Structure formats: structure tokens, C-alpha cells
Amino acid sequence: MSSLIWLMLLSCSTLVISTKNASDGNTRQGKSIFILAGQSNMAGRGGIHAGVWDGYIPLECQSSPKVLRLNSEHKWEEARPPLHRDIDYLKACGIGPGLAFANSVLQKNISIGDIGLVPCAVGGTQISEWRRGSPLYKQLLSRAHAALHDGGIIRAILWYQGESDTLSQEDAKLYKMRLAKLFTDIRSDMKLPKLPVILVALASAEGPYIDEVRKAQLGLDLPNVKCVDAKGMEIGNDGLHLSTKGEVKVGQMMADAFTQFMA
């Protein structure tokens, strides 16, 4: 009898552990889902010339049946650039960091299954436009929920934003607080308190307060947050958006950061 009770307790404890790990995004079963959010350098402006994408797809961003994209109709399809073409649709999209990230993760053989990318970024947006309850915030949560409809695990949020917050000294000063609150709110509303976040420190800016925003990004003190620094990455002719080469490099850096979480 005691042996039977012990086995029942063991079974229950294993179930609780498995459920907890799944909610924290730490299991290795099902599709691995990544939320891509922020503004234009996440949406991708690599290869954009005079408002038109040149169509060049580097080797690091080639499509693969193991990398999927959640389109604007909440349907999974094979991921092909531009990833944000039907999300950030008011401006031309080109190469972003998403596919370079996904392909780099696959090459690292960390056994996380197929990858599902969920584009949510919209160009020209300030962080205040992503606050809890805003249209962008609601869309992110809605798309994240839709991504889980047929199973999978949300592994991380990839965040690249802040260029628009360099225009105002007040916005730059408040950036760190707003960023921390955003990530905390997303984790709370997704019920994923330990959800990893990988953010990018700016390489360029719209205004003069880039140093303040970069300091906030590099100094964000939250658990399970890693920051990769885009400073020095190749910038396109507009002086604001990363080139295709720069986008690929940032995607690979984010993949390196993600593998540190998995380790």
C-alpha cells in the first residue's frame, strides 16, 4: 500500500513539474514560438531603396520548412522575407533579423523542434504606444494566443525598438521604466513570469537622445533579459535603418543570446 501511495505522489509531482516548466517556456516539446516586436528595424528595412525592397535574400535568411511564420490571418505558413509584410504594411518591408535568428538557432542543434515566428513590429512606434491596453499591445497578445492554438511553446520575445524615443528628452528619460513595465506586463498577461526577453541596444536614432535610450537598454535590470548591442552594425543609406548585412548580424547575435538561456 505504501508503495502504491508513493507512486501516485511521484506521478502527481511529475505532472506539476512538467506543467510549470511548460508555462515558463522551458520544455522541449512542440513548436518553439518567438514573438518579434518593436519598430522598423525589427520589422526589417534591409534592402529598402527609395521605398522599394530590392528582393535580395541572403543565405542566412533563406526559407526552410522548419521555420514558419504566423501571417496576419493567424495562419502558419513557411517563413519567407519580408516577414512583416502584412503586419507593418504601411511601409515597405525588407530583410529583418527574424529569419537570420531562426536559421542560426536551427544550426546550433539545440533540439527545440520547428520554429514559429510571430511578427508584431510596426515601424515608427514609440514605447508608449506599446503600453498595456494599447492597440499594439492587444495585437501582440492576440497573435501570441493564436500562435498557441495548435500547440507549441513561447520561447522568447525578441524586441528591437527605441529609435523614435530618442526625439524627446522626456521620452528618453522614461524609457527604462516604460521598457521594464512593458516586459513585466507581457509576462504577467501571458502567465509566463520567466519568459526570456532578448532586446537590441540601438545602432541608430531619429533624435539626439540615443545615448540615454541605449543606457536604459543596456542597463535594464530584469531577470531573464539579455541585451545585444547593435552599435557599429552597418546602416543603410537613410542613416537610420540597418542594412541587410546589419540585420543578419543582429539576428545571429540574438540567436547566440537565446542559446545562453537554453544552456
**pLDDT tens profile 80-125:** 999 999 999 999 999 999 999 999 999 998 899 999 999 999 999 9
Residue 9 has pLDDT above 50, yes or no: no
Average pLDDT on 54-83 reads 98
Residue with cell 515597405: 92
Residue 16 has pLDDT above 70, yes or no: no
Residue 20 has pLDDT above 50, yes or no: no
Average pLDDT on 2-11 reads 37
Given 3-state DSSP classes, what are the helix, strand and coil percentages for the chain, each rounded to the nearest 5? 40, 15, 40
The pTM is what? 0.89
Just list the catalytic residues.
40, 238, 241
Topology of the domain comprising 32-260: Rossmann fold (3.40.50)
Whole-angstrom distance, CA of residue 130 vs CA of residue 113 = 30
Quote the pLDDT of residue 46.
98
Residue with cell 507593418: 88
Kindly state the percentage of the chain with pLDDT values over 70: 89
Kindly state the percentage of the chain with pLDDT values over 90: 87
Residue 189 has pLDDT above 60, yes or no: yes
Average pLDDT of the chain? 90
> pLDDT-derived band of residue 30, with 50, 70 and 90 as boundaries?
confident
Burial 120-141 (b: 16+ CB within 10 A, else e): bbbbebbbeebeeeeebbeebb
For residue 232, is it left (φ>0), alpha (ψ between -120 and 50) or beta? left
Q: In 3-state terms, what secondary structure has residue 116?
A: strand
Cβ neighbors of 129 (< 8 A, separation 6 or more) are: 136
Quote the pLDDT of residue 10.
34
Q: Which helix (H) or strand (E) holds 66?
A: none
Average pLDDT on 40-62 reads 98
Residue 131 has pLDDT above 50, yes or no: yes
Grid coordinates given for 103: 536559421
